[in-house]
């Protein structure tokens, strides 16, 4: 996380020694290139960081790009216990994105026309107003324009790892799933072995559904030598059994 804080008429940076120092506004463009903003901020002044709490978003905070803004908001949301997503973005006349708003994923309301009043359509959207609008400044940094922190639903830090925006499959997990699938080990057993290796579900960064979706994708892409011939033979048998069945396959010299 790269972070630059603005307070009153000065710019505050955190150097590698966790010391806060200031640069006047008119010096910012000259000095910025010579300043290395820490990727991980450990200590800031008391108004932004509690003794054990997360860094709270404040109007005027600046970041190197919009991805850094998202990373900061996701980190804050993970500690507080709510999912986030990008609500919208807007480009300037030059075609460059200059405005982005990140929100709680429960923002908005879905239409329930597909269900009856007796059986409402399940939805996690509650019209939550929590959001973090930001814009691109002329100096090339992204600044937080406004902050709404209040949610209209329960939040739970213990569930943060289960939100879709925080779930991910590591390279190790992907490799284990692929190897086990090739050896025809069931996904249920494969997932359980990964859970045991991670020392419990609470240490997992994914759920079984993520693993299942990944394996299904791998299977669709996995076409080994001779598979095209097998598929062609299968379609030929289908055509014999059902004259109305039609197929067409183009094969190269390697089939």
pLDDT digits 0-9 by tens, 136-183: 998 999 999 999 999 998 888 888 888 888 888 889 999 999 999 888
The answer to whether residues 94 and 217 belong to one domain is no
Q: Which domain holds residue 211?
A: 171-221
Domain assignment present for 241: no
Q: DSSP character for 138?
A: T
The pLDDT, as a whole number, for residue 218 is 85
Residue 15: CB partners within 8 Å, gap ≥ 6?
A: 21, 35, 36, 38
pLDDT digits (tens, 9 = 90+) for 189-223: 999 999 998 888 888 888 899 999 999 888 877 76
What pLDDT band is residue 56 in, cutting at 50, 70 and 90? very high
Residue finishing a domain among 103, 128, 154: 154
Domain assignment present for 226: no
The answer to whether residues 23 and 135 belong to one domain is yes
The answer to whether residues 141 and 63 belong to one domain is yes
**Do residues 82 and 106 make contact, with C-beta atoms less than 8 angstroms apart?**
yes
The answer to whether residues 123 and 60 belong to one domain is yes
The answer to whether residues 145 and 194 belong to one domain is no
Which of 36-40, 167-171, 233-237 is predicted with the least confidence, judged by mean pLDDT? Answer: 36-40
Residue finishing a domain among 105, 127, 154: 154
What pLDDT band is residue 73 in, cutting at 50, 70 and 90? very high
The answer to whether residues 116 and 87 belong to one domain is yes
The answer to whether residues 45 and 138 belong to one domain is yes
Which percentage of the chain shows pLDDT scores above 90? 31
Kindly report the number of other CB atoms within 10 A of residue 144's CB atom: 21
Domain assignment present for 234: no
The answer to whether residues 89 and 209 belong to one domain is no
Backbone angles phi, psi at 142, to 5 degrees: -100, 130
Domain assignment present for 108: yes
The answer to whether residues 146 and 204 belong to one domain is no
Backbone angles phi, psi at 63, to 5 degrees: -135, 160
- pLDDT above 70 (res 35): no
Question: What average pLDDT is seen over the chain?
Answer: 76
Which of 62-66, 202-206, 227-231 is predicted with the least confidence, judged by mean pLDDT? Answer: 227-231
DSSP annotation string for 140-194: S-EEE---B---SS---GGGGGGSTTT----HHHHHHHHHHHHTT--HHHHHHHH
The answer to whether residues 127 and 50 belong to one domain is yes
pTM check: above 0.75: no
The answer to whether residues 126 and 213 belong to one domain is no
The pLDDT, as a whole number, for residue 9 is 42
Higher pLDDT, 93 or 15: 93
The answer to whether residues 27 and 108 belong to one domain is yes
Domain assignment present for 206: yes
Place of tokens 């509690």: 50
Beta bridge partners of 134: 100, 144
**Do residues 125 and 152 make contact, with C-beta atoms less than 8 angstroms apart?**
no
Domain assignment present for 15: yes
Residue finishing a domain among 154, 180, 207: 154
Domain assignment present for 134: yes
Domain assignment present for 190: yes
Domain count, the chain: 2
The pLDDT, as a whole number, for residue 33 is 35
């Amino acid at each position: 996380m790269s972070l630059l804080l603005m307070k009153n008429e000065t710019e505050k940076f955190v150097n590698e020694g966790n010391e806060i120092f200031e640069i006047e506004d008119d010096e910012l463009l000259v000095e910025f290139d010579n300043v290395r903003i820490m990727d991980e901020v450990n200590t800031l002044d008391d108004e932004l960081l509690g003794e054990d709490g997360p860094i709270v978003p404040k109007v005027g905070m600046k970041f190197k790009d919009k991805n850094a803004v998202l990373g900061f908001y996701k980190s804050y949301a993970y500690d507080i216990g709510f999912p986030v997503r990008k609500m919208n973005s807007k480009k300037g006349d030059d075609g460059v994105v200059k405005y982005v708003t990140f929100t709680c994923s429960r923002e908005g309301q879905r239409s329930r026309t597909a269900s009856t009043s007796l059986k409402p359509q399940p939805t996690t959207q509650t019209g939550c107003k929590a959001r973090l609008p930001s814009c691109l400044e002329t100096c090339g940094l992204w600044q937080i324009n406004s902050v709404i922190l209040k949610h209209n639903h329960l939040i739970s830090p213990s569930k943060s790892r289960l939100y879709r925006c925080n779930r991910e499959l590591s390279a190790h997990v992907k490799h284990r799933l692929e190897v086990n699938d090739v050896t025809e080990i069931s996904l249920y057993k494969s997932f359980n072995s990964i859970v045991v290796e991670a020392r419990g579900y609470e240490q997992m960064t994914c759920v079984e559904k993520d693993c299942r979706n990944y394996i299904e994708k791998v299977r669709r892409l996995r076409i080994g030598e001779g598979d095209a011939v097998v598929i062609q033979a299968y379609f030929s048998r289908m055509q014999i059994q059902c004259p109305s069945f039609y197929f067409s396959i183009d094969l190269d010299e390697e089939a």
